[in-house]
Structure 1
Amino acid sequence: MKRFSTAAAVVMATALLPGSAQAATGTARTSAVIGVDVSNWTGEIDWPIVAENGVAFAFVYASEGLDYVNPRFESQYGGAAEAGLIRGAYHFAQPHESGGAAQADYFVANGGGWTPDGKTLPGVLDVEDNPYKNRNGLDNCYGLDKREMITWVGDFTRRYRQRTGRDAIIYTTTSWWRTCTGDSPAFGRNPLWLARWGDEPGELPAGWKRYTFWQSADKGQGTPGGRNSFNGTVSQLKRLAKPPSGIKAAGRVVRNTYAVTVANTGTEPIRALKVSGRTFGGQKIAKVGRGCRFSGTAVRCTIAELAPKSKVRLVFTVKPAKAGTPARTRGLKLTVGTVNLTLTAGKR
């Protein structure tokens, strides 16, 4: 019989939302955003009552390894959404049974996929002590050494991002992470759901300065499943469920002109988008378009708003090279939000 993980903990990494000022080892905030985690063992749930009791989000056990799916997943996952809760799915890892990428595919195929509906959290990779030691004869790290475990988690999280466009949340305990990955700092971009029962979250695994979610008990007070809190406000929780902004930048060079197209491929508007850059190869900027300013080789622009599925074109003109100037590779390096773009004009 497969195990469900009620004590899973999610810790937030670099994806921590703005405004979550909770200290890594501090006590839980008094006005916490409350959530639950449930599994097949939780049974039928009266989700409207759960919502009335102030619960804002729920994590639902979806799959395990490559051969088990929670038979109650659809009713629990759908019921939470119908009651107005923000919900997410989690996968209980079995690293000794198959590769991380294969288990990510299985998770996505069995409820762990992400949809941009504003009420679905990124999926969770639940990695913790091996509960089947008496059955499989392996240690708490499933027989993998630290390097193998880091590789396994990396394979899972990379494939999940490829399949969904989102960084999987990692649910773990600090002690397991230290023992089985050597306290690897490699996954700081993944939100952390920390599992630690008690009044304080305690120390975090390496790579994370903040947790995103904290499971503080295996049973909630008057709620089903485990007791959890989100390290932020309800508005920030909703933002975690929204699609990330999709910024793309491309350009071309025609003689002394650099034309750059910036596109928003996401479903949310992007506001106050910063563009900054610098020419190289001895060029100086001579002219820029509206919303931009320049000085010598440097340029800065602000795109006030870029609607979903829309584009904007920026044009930068440089001074022609003087006669007799030594031939050097010329170009323009730009940073558009979080995207880097380099345009090369050849030698002149």
Structure 2
Amino acid sequence: MKRVPIFLALVVMASVLTPTSNTLASTATVSIGVQSTPNAGESLVTFFGQVKPAVKAKIEISSFDGIAWKATPFTTTSSSSGAWRITAVATAIKAEGQYRATALIKKKKVLSKPANFKVDNSKTFPDHNTLFLTPETSKLTGGRIKGSDVSRWQHPNDQPIDFKKMFDAGMRFVIIKGSDAQEKADIETMRWLVGDRNAAQAAGLYTGMYHFAYMPNTTDRDYVIRDAKAQAQKVIWRLASLGGYNERDLPVALDLENSCIQRSSSGGCAKFLARSLVTLWAETWLETVEEKTGRKPILYSYAQFLESAMTRSEKLRQYPLWLAHYGINPADPISQPGQRPVIGCFVHSWSTANCSSQWQIWQYSSCGIGKKYGVPSSRLDLNVFRGSADNFLALTKGRWQPEPADMMPINEPTRVNLISVTATDTNKPVEINVEVFRNIGTPVVTGTVVFRPLDTKVKVKKQSAVRSASGRWELKVEGLPAGVTAGTLNYVDISKTHSDNQLPLSINLMQGPELPVPTPTPKPTPTKRPVDSCAKQIKH
């Protein structure tokens, strides 16, 4: 192996992200972190950081020899969001030094603060078995590889996760929420995905990404397929924005645990998608993602849902199952996740002859002690992997590197189709059903809709857009005056994936009868006893 002045040899590439904003080079900063990344065999070093405000830039790593800063062979390009990562092999295990990153932005050089580093020999393991499983972890998990899953809820008050501490506490993989079918939740998800993935991989953890799904409000099989493909497209674009799969990525996962398609006024579920259509939706989503990325996605759910909300499917059985089942201990050799607690079997696509489930990952608790694993939240999901270190590494095989056509578009043309408008009097909300299409005829993947009066003096008291399927919304507007209110029905996508669009829309309302103002009757507030949701769960 060729030696270089800093005794490192480059082996891996940088991440790629979705653009968030542009800024002048004069206001930009670049950060750098350097740390030993746990590995079997050779010592690994990871350089990582971010350009802020977000801008795409060439990154060069320099080392300090005690007299002057000298260039190294290590360069990469940050994503449009500014994040960058380089992983290297340390050819001298006692190597130590000082490094900095230079970002080249519009021909201007922006320097990071220096970062000191020394190879940590304790992060190098003789083989994958000792890397993945420590004696202490083995006692807690019954000899299985341990992992977790995180989302924005593990970042209370915007606090970061200490993934190095997570690794030191025995975790070896973390599955990060990567996308959501609901626009507001998806935007929040993007705040953490990129940084968490970079930091977790630098700390030695293998990372996955999951999509939280919502079912479409329809009975049309073709529409179910269309919606599943649209949600799959969001995940493919999100994965492409990260640069595709790298050597530390697990396959993406589908979080499917709710088939409600219509809520009642009290917030409960008034309507569920038919079992056969939920199954069709899942099959379509999984097949679409697999066809594009070359890896079989993972399906996350729980046995009761798999039985009651879906039909048995040989197609589904071909995909790895990530099963949630709390209250039984993975260290107990007779524990069988997916079995009924008393008598009988859950019957679903992954059921086995002995009434257990054919699972690949088992989420056995939602009550892990956050601080123990470097997580700011009080609780953390705990998981184990079923199989050997070689079985685990097999999930990381096959790299998908996106082509330019696979990247999320920017301001892609759209078409708005008004389905229906229900407007009666001022006492009732106006109900507007609308769908928005991409220029290729499929539903838009991001964005929402809003009504805007032309007269700025007309104030809308309240409006809410409820997603009924990908690219389709039911918009309720309240508080408009009697008579005709001229305005526009607007499709808005703050991610700028699809172009904003609008239709002229006039709403005509009759004056509703004056309703009596109810006099509230005071009621005593019952004292609620605190409920410990972790009382019957594993806590460690």
The equivalent residue for 2:181 is 65
The equivalent residue for 1:153 is 282
Query: How many residues end up aligned between the 2 structures?
Result: 216
Once residues 189 and 104 of structure 1 are traced to their aligned partners in structure 2, the CA distance between those partners, rounded to angstroms, is 18
Distance 1:99 1:135, change over 3 A: farther
The equivalent residue for 1:206 is 348
Does structure 1 residue 127 correspond to structure 2 residue 256?
yes
Once residues 196 and 239 of structure 2 are traced to their aligned partners in structure 1, the CA distance between those partners, rounded to angstroms, is 11
Distance 1:72 1:29, change over 3 A: closer
Once residues 264 and 168 of structure 2 are traced to their aligned partners in structure 1, the CA distance between those partners, rounded to angstroms, is 41
- Give secondary structure in 2 for the equivalent of 1:182: coil
AA matched with 2:153: W
Counterpart contact for 1:66–1:103, Cα < 8 Å: no
Once residues 137 and 154 of structure 1 are traced to their aligned partners in structure 2, the CA distance between those partners, rounded to angstroms, is 29
Counterpart contact for 1:114–1:164, Cα < 8 Å: no
**Cα distance, 1:118 vs structure 2:** 2.2
Once residues 83 and 135 of structure 1 are traced to their aligned partners in structure 2, the CA distance between those partners, rounded to angstroms, is 46
**Deviations for 1:31-67, whole angstroms, at most 9, x for unmatched residues?**
1210000001101200011011110100000111152
Q: Which has the higher contact order (CA 8 A, sep 6+)?
A: 1
Does structure 1 residue 39 correspond to structure 2 residue 175?
no
Does structure 1 residue 235 correspond to structure 2 residue 390?
yes
**Deviations for 1:119-142, whole angstroms, at most 9, x for unmatched residues?**
1011000000368956796749x6
Greater alpha carbon shift after TM alignment, 58-67 vs 91-100: 91-100
Distance 1:39 1:81, change over 3 A: same
2:247 is aligned, of 97, 118, 132, to 118
The equivalent residue for 1:177 is 306
AA matched with 2:150: V
Kindly name which structure, 1 or 2, has the bigger radius of gyration based on alpha carbons. Answer: 2
Does structure 1 residue 75 correspond to structure 2 residue 195?
yes
Unpaired stretches in structure 1, ≥5 consecutive residues: 1-27, 245-348
Does structure 1 residue 216 correspond to structure 2 residue 364?
yes
The equivalent residue for 2:105 is none
Counterpart contact for 2:323–2:338, Cα < 8 Å: no
- Give secondary structure in 2 for the equivalent of 1:187: helix
The equivalent residue for 1:96 is 216
- Give secondary structure in 1 for the equivalent of 2:309: helix
Distance 1:114 1:170, change over 3 A: farther
Once residues 181 and 45 of structure 1 are traced to their aligned partners in structure 2, the CA distance between those partners, rounded to angstroms, is 36
Counterpart contact for 1:58–1:87, Cα < 8 Å: yes
Once residues 268 and 325 of structure 2 are traced to their aligned partners in structure 1, the CA distance between those partners, rounded to angstroms, is 23
1:105 is aligned, of 209, 220, 233, to 233
AA matched with 1:103: Q
How high is the TM-score relative to the length of structure 2?
A: 0.37
Once residues 114 and 175 of structure 1 are traced to their aligned partners in structure 2, the CA distance between those partners, rounded to angstroms, is 36
**Deviations for 1:151-193, whole angstroms, at most 9, x for unmatched residues?**
1111111110122111110001110111111344431110000
Counterpart contact for 1:117–1:242, Cα < 8 Å: no
AA matched with 1:50: M
AA matched with 1:92: F
**Cα distance, 1:77 vs structure 2:** 1.6
Once residues 194 and 161 of structure 2 are traced to their aligned partners in structure 1, the CA distance between those partners, rounded to angstroms, is 12
- Give secondary structure in 1 for the equivalent of 2:317: coil
**Cα distance, 1:79 vs structure 2:** 1.3
AA matched with 2:177: Y
Once residues 359 and 386 of structure 2 are traced to their aligned partners in structure 1, the CA distance between those partners, rounded to angstroms, is 7
Counterpart contact for 1:122–1:169, Cα < 8 Å: yes
The equivalent residue for 1:7 is none
AA matched with 1:207: S
2:170 is aligned, of 54, 58, 64, to 54
Once residues 347 and 194 of structure 2 are traced to their aligned partners in structure 1, the CA distance between those partners, rounded to angstroms, is 33
Counterpart contact for 1:119–1:242, Cα < 8 Å: no
CA RMSD of aligned residues (A): 2.7
Once residues 133 and 124 of structure 1 are traced to their aligned partners in structure 2, the CA distance between those partners, rounded to angstroms, is 26
Once residues 169 and 161 of structure 2 are traced to their aligned partners in structure 1, the CA distance between those partners, rounded to angstroms, is 13
- Give secondary structure in 1 for the equivalent of 2:392: helix
Counterpart contact for 1:177–1:184, Cα < 8 Å: no
Distance 1:227 1:118, change over 3 A: same
Counterpart contact for 1:130–1:139, Cα < 8 Å: no
Once residues 177 and 30 of structure 1 are traced to their aligned partners in structure 2, the CA distance between those partners, rounded to angstroms, is 26
Counterpart contact for 2:259–2:309, Cα < 8 Å: no
- Give secondary structure in 1 for the equivalent of 2:382: strand
Counterpart contact for 1:36–1:57, Cα < 8 Å: yes
Once residues 322 and 167 of structure 2 are traced to their aligned partners in structure 1, the CA distance between those partners, rounded to angstroms, is 21
Counterpart contact for 1:36–1:220, Cα < 8 Å: no
Once residues 83 and 136 of structure 1 are traced to their aligned partners in structure 2, the CA distance between those partners, rounded to angstroms, is 45
Once residues 285 and 166 of structure 2 are traced to their aligned partners in structure 1, the CA distance between those partners, rounded to angstroms, is 32
How high is the TM-score relative to the length of structure 1?
A: 0.56
Counterpart contact for 2:259–2:278, Cα < 8 Å: no
Unpaired stretches in structure 2, ≥5 consecutive residues: 1-139, 218-225, 329-334, 340-345, 353-357, 400-540
Superposition pairs of residues 236-255 of structure 1, within 5 angstroms: 236-243=391-398
Counterpart contact for 2:141–2:384, Cα < 8 Å: no
Once residues 304 and 321 of structure 2 are traced to their aligned partners in structure 1, the CA distance between those partners, rounded to angstroms, is 14
Once residues 314 and 201 of structure 2 are traced to their aligned partners in structure 1, the CA distance between those partners, rounded to angstroms, is 34
